[in-house]
Structure 1
């Protein structure tokens, strides 16, 4: 974890040398990280859509082999392989973000030790505040806590699919994430709260610009494929009936 913290610290230092503002450097750093994760997020969306499409088959297998767990697992793996789905793919962006979040927490606790600044004097000179926050290394900001909680609430709200099976769980998760973010925004350093708020706002914008249109496109593609299959079957049936009539 120390290696990750040092790497993040050096990246933050490079950004700081360009923008010359510590708080703004954290915002730019957050956007940089989230842009790197966009391909993974797109992969996650496609995986989620594919999982939704095979849900009827999964339910059928679960019901058919409910008393045979080994057989059920085997059949489910076949379904995943046929559909080219990795059930763990949806967790990948979150798994990648967690070390970054922990590493950044350590960097902001001691930016000098992790290479952001060469000395405490340089850090003190750079930590002149950001927007209305007087010090990026300070804690217990009510405004940041509220922004953190509200942004987390709306981000999580957007992720609610409306699926009957997952709706209640997602609703609970929405409130849990909002409360945790509210707590983090108040107890953690302002710099980490700025990272978290920026990340949440990016996620909201990403949903509007990428996630929602991509889901709609995937749904349209699926509907078109189903229509083509139905049309193909109809044409085959029509041709078969025509051949039968000709034989008669």
Structure 2
């Protein structure tokens, strides 16, 4: 984690030196990181869309061979090969991003160590932002509430291979509540990162979905 946290901390420090506002630096830092991850995100979305398109055929195979697990697996893999789709295509970009996310969390949970070089230097800067007196402390209501809402919007706008799955539906409502609860104890700077990251992703999903909507309307 430290191998990724160090360069990410240097990036945040570079942005802070330019802006000289810790809250705005976190926002710009988040946008920069999300832009770097756009190729992986696009690949993940493409894979999920492809899996979603063949989902009816997968259900047909599951129904036809529900009593023959071996045949079911063979036919399912044949379908993936026919459409040149990897069943793990949507997971791989996510797995690649996980270490980066862990590194980001480490940076924003301990900026004194990873960004400013010492806790004393970090405590000497102005870490207030908007209504927040200190981004080091947790915001108990407003920011966690926005984090939970944007988490729900992210889930609602993200393509899924199986939108009818009950587990996914449950997680779409449960995960935002969990984020809200965690946000009440996380440093506000970390919760701010989560809000900006979610907002960026929602806008990205809406922009990418727009050409599809126009095509349907014949524009």
Instruction: Tell me the TM-score range normalised by the shorter chain.
Output: 0.7 to 0.9
Alignment: residue pair count: 218
2:31 aligned residue: 31
Provide the aligned C-alpha RMSD in A.
Answer: 2.7
1:1-248 equivalences in 2 (<5 Å): 1-114=1-114, 116-159=115-158, 165-166=164-165, 168-210=166-208, 212-216=209-213
In the alignment, is the contact (CA less than 8 A) between 2:109 and 2:190 conserved in 1? no
In the alignment, is the contact (CA less than 8 A) between 2:137 and 2:187 conserved in 1? yes
Counterparts of 2:196 and 2:117, CA distance in 1: 26
Q: 1:94 is paired with a residue of what secondary structure?
A: helix
In the alignment, is the contact (CA less than 8 A) between 1:160 and 1:170 conserved in 2? no
Q: Which runs of 5+ in 1 are unaligned?
A: 221-248
Q: 1:112 is paired with a residue of what secondary structure?
A: helix
Deviation at 1:85, TM superposition (A): 1.0
Q: 1:40 to 1:160 in 2, by over 3 A?
A: closer
In the alignment, is the contact (CA less than 8 A) between 1:49 and 1:218 conserved in 2? no
Higher relative contact order (CA 8 A, sep 6+): 2
In the alignment, is the contact (CA less than 8 A) between 2:143 and 2:188 conserved in 1? yes
In the alignment, is the contact (CA less than 8 A) between 1:145 and 1:186 conserved in 2? yes
Deviation at 1:180, TM superposition (A): 1.1
Deviation at 1:73, TM superposition (A): 1.6
Counterparts of 2:212 and 2:97, CA distance in 1: 23
Counterparts of 1:71 and 1:99, CA distance in 2: 37
TM-score by length of 1: 0.76
Task: Return the structure number with greater helix share.
Answer: 1
Question: Which stretches of structure 1, 4 residues or longer, exceed 6 Å deviation after superposition?
Answer: 217-220
Counterparts of 1:165 and 1:20, CA distance in 2: 47
Deviation at 1:104, TM superposition (A): 2.3
Q: Which stretch shifts more, 191-200 or 132-141? A: 132-141
Counterparts of 1:118 and 1:175, CA distance in 2: 39
In the alignment, is the contact (CA less than 8 A) between 2:138 and 2:185 conserved in 1? yes
Q: Which runs of 5+ in 2 are unaligned?
A: none
Counterparts of 1:56 and 1:34, CA distance in 2: 33
Counterparts of 2:74 and 2:28, CA distance in 1: 46
**Higher Rg:** 1
